[in-house]
Amino acid sequence: MTALLEVQNLHKSYGSLKVTEDISFSINRGEALGVIGPNGAGKSTLFNLIAGGIRPDSGTVLFNGLDVTNFHLHERSIKGIGRSFQIPHPFGGMTVFENLLVGASFSAKLKGQDAEALAIDVLDRTGLLEKANRPAGELTLLERKRLELAKALSTQPALLLLDEIAGGLTEHECHELVELINSLRKEGITLIWIEHIVHALVSVVDRLLVIDFGVKLDEGEPHAVMNNPKVQEIYMGISAE
């Protein structure tokens, strides 16, 4: 079985600052991978290298066996890589329903009623059905996070990338979101999730990848990774529980 996503020897520098140094990993269909690391470790850069917002200096990104390293963001979205943004980017001038029609029409390439049906289905799965006709600019933070997730789902992704989607939420809201993501996992979606809130991450993912200063520090089963002394050093005092 070939991996759904295979990242090989990615390098990215801004001037003399190396933000990604020789990072390789792969993820199989149906798997969930969590990515952690301190602020400035290069998590978001890695994320953008996979989603297509940034081109690497060297290395390749294989998706479904296809070399997508030089694909644009919108091309990768059409191929099946869906992403959320750390800071929600709602289309404030549209309703919540119309926000989802964008991905359904352009990325999933559905027409008319099929696109509308997908949008409604995603609204239902993300608990936003009641908000369908509300302008997206009026949503609360949790609702905007849900919309962020819903918009990524509206592209019918094979691989879902979540960028600190739980950030800024209360403990209770975070729990709700984790439940939602777990229900998506049960549907069989493949997931890469970057998050600071380690306990939320550990309750969802199969594997953890730790990066620091652009370098892969460890990768493996979440509890084993969190018990790695090197990881404990950078995540001082934060346990997996």
Partner 1 sequence: MSRISSFEVSRSTRASKVALVGWIVILGVLISVPFWAGRGDMRFLIEFAYYLTLAQMWNLLAGYAGLVSVGQQAFVGLGGYMLFAASVYFGIHPVIAIPIAGVLIALISIPTAFVVFRLRGAYFAIGTWVVAEVFRLLFAQISSLGGGSGMSIPAKIVKEIASGRTERDMLIYFTALVILVAGTAMVYLLMRSKYGLALTAIRDSEPASDSLGVNIFKTKLTIYVASAAVTGVVGALIFLQKLRISPDVAFSLQDWTAAVIFIVVIGGIGTIEGPIIGTLIYFGLRSLLSDYGSIYMIVLGCVAVVMMLWAPKGVWGLITQKFDLQLFPVNRRVTWK
User: Quick check: 64 binds partner 1 (CB under 8 A)?
Assistant: no
CA dist 24 and 46 (Å) reads 11
Q: Which two tokens stand for residue 200?
A: 């939320």
Helix axes 112-125, 96-106, angle to 10 degrees: 120
What is the smallest separation between the CB atom of 104 and partner 1, expressed in angstroms?
9
User: Quick check: 93 binds partner 1 (CB under 8 A)?
Assistant: yes
What is the smallest separation between the CB atom of 240 and partner 1, expressed in angstroms?
31
Q: Walk across the sheet containing 32-36 and list its strands.
A: 81-83, 159-163, 190-194, 32-36, 207-212, 215-220
User: Quick check: 51 binds partner 1 (CB under 8 A)?
Assistant: yes
What is the smallest separation between the CB atom of 107 and partner 1, expressed in angstroms?
3
What is the smallest separation between the CB atom of 239 and partner 1, expressed in angstroms?
34
User: Quick check: 133 binds partner 1 (CB under 8 A)?
Assistant: yes
Taking the C-alpha atoms of 104, 61, 32 and 121 in order, what is their torsion angle to the nearest 10 degrees? Answer: 0
Binding-site ranges for partner 1 (CB under 8 A) = 51-53, 72-74, 77-78, 82-83, 85, 89-95, 97-98, 101-103, 105-109, 115-117, 120-121, 124, 129, 132-133, 151-152, 154-155
